[in-house]
Amino acid sequence: MAHEYDVLVIGGGPGGYVAAIRAAQLGFKTACCESNPYADPKGEPRLGGTCLNVGCIPSKALLHTSHLFEEAGHSFAAQGINVGTPKIDVTKMVARKSTIVDQLTGGIKGLFKKNKVTLINGHGSFIGKSDAGWQVKVGEELVVAKQVIIATGSSARHLPGIPVDNKIVCDNVGALDIDAVPKKLAVIGAGVIGLEMGSVWRRVGADVTVLEAMPDFLAAADQDVAKEALKVFTKQGLKFNFGVQIGEVKVGKKGVVISYKDKDGADQKLEADRLIVSVGRVPNTDGLNAEAVELKITERGMIEVDDHCRTNLPGVWAVGDVVRGPMLAHKAMEEAVMVAELMAGQAGHCNFDTVPWVIYTSPEIAWVGKTEQQLKAAGVAYKVGKIPFLANGRALGMGEPTGFVKMLADANTDRILGVHIIGAGASELISEAVVAMEFAGCSEDLARICHAHPTMSEVVHEAALACDKRPLHF
């Protein structure tokens, strides 16, 4: 016998669970199906997807612990705090991370119960369509839903010829569970995951070398930010090689040997105890049986959708990493809310121009909107306000004077076009810029808002003032 719902969400990650909760809040009889890709001692589905289980949340827990460890070893003495030589207990560090993950995954189940969302164990696979709705097989059950939201997320991209065992050669999953500090760690890929995981293990004592195929560092970021970040990370001890071509990778019981050509074409070898492969992610569309219902999928493996996440099938939607746009948890959540509200006849909307990006290194990197190089390429006339944290009293008091805030505004209308931050707390400071841009704000709008003193946010204020060439403290 088929189980009937108004809405079935396939996938329980950030896009999926938020879509299910919002749909239920709007009065739809809602179910969410999730298989069990992550370890659960009871064999029950773990909600939260990659982000909560093996991505955003656990990585930030490790980043925080490793940051405190590095501060204790290198920064405390300058403030008159003597603690001796700190020691890291990797087992306890990883266990703390896992406890946080368990708490939050359980919390989502509680939210499902609160909002009357039915959780079904199993992966959703399309069968066809009947008068009652879309037929989807979930495990051994048949589910019929009037509307379906696909939120199956993404998986780590692996390189051919480099098998990932998550012991010696790791992707994002194994990088979070390394059981001891490797003496030498190699990272392939200088993107967000590579930088964050490389930072974690460098701080606790690993000698980290990053190999990147692209000739430039953080090409997606504003180049002023990228240049500053490379200088800071190199000074911290991360080693970078750009423009490399990875060759043979030999894996042994105790380590790995990576053969590659450097930017000049010369043959090189890198020996390491562990290797982290972080070369992007691929959308999860396998197992949906898309061809059975003629669901359109692009050449890149993403589900084809319009600006409001509608697929080519009536009543079928897709959100998050499985569709176009940045693979960011908060972008998936915004799309999820939009879709649920559109299904209810409301004016759901997601502004992709104001989706912020964050890299949780130290210092943090965050941006929203256009970069200076994008504005130049588009021929847009703009003005710049750029203020260093070195001019901020709170930053100096915290011992965090590194970095700056850079604001780009239209030269004619003064509308804010982009804000780029490298510095302590950038992940929080960027929100002010997002709000201002969402309301089509100008640099003068932020310049005339009173900011508490002393705070790091004053640097955003000064950058806005600097767009009009009138900063007060620099």
Q: Which amino acid is at 447?
A: A
Residue 154 annotated as lining a ligand binding site: yes
Residue 191 annotated as lining a ligand binding site: yes
Tokens of 21: 């909760």
How many CB atoms are located within 10 Å of the residue 372 CB?
Answer: 18
Residue 193 annotated as lining a ligand binding site: yes
Residue 329 annotated as lining a ligand binding site: yes
Tokens of 454: 């002393």
For residues 351 and 173, what is the distance between their CA atoms, to the nearest angstrom? 31
C-alpha 120: how far from chain center: 27
Residue 153 annotated as lining a ligand binding site: yes
Q: Are 277 and 159 in contact (CB under 8 A)?
A: yes
Q: From the CA atom positions of the chain, what is the Rg in Å?
A: 24
Residue 15 annotated as lining a ligand binding site: no
Please indicate whether residue 453 is annotated as part of the active site.
yes
For residues 272 and 202, what is the distance between their CA atoms, to the nearest angstrom? 13
For residues 403 and 390, what is the distance between their CA atoms, to the nearest angstrom? 8
Residue among 284, 42, 27, 298 at smallest CA distance from 147: 27
Residue 139 annotated as lining a ligand binding site: no
Residue among 25, 6, 42 at smallest CA distance from 112: 25
Residue 301 annotated as lining a ligand binding site: no
Residues 6+ apart with CB under 8 A from 292: 126, 127, 128
Residue 335 annotated as lining a ligand binding site: no
Residue 60 annotated as lining a ligand binding site: yes
Residue 189 annotated as lining a ligand binding site: yes
Residue 212 annotated as lining a ligand binding site: yes
Residue 213 annotated as lining a ligand binding site: no
Residue 291 annotated as lining a ligand binding site: no
Please pick, among 74, 308, 349, 453, the residue that the annotation labels catalytic. Answer: 453
Residue among 131, 196, 151, 171 at smallest CA distance from 48: 151
How many CB atoms are located within 10 Å of the residue 205 CB?
Answer: 18
Residue 327 annotated as lining a ligand binding site: yes
Binding residues for FAD: 60, 124, 152-154, 321, 327-330
Binding residues for NAD(+): 189-196, 212, 280
Catalytic residues: 453
Binding residues: 60, 124, 152-154, 189-196, 212, 280, 321, 327-330
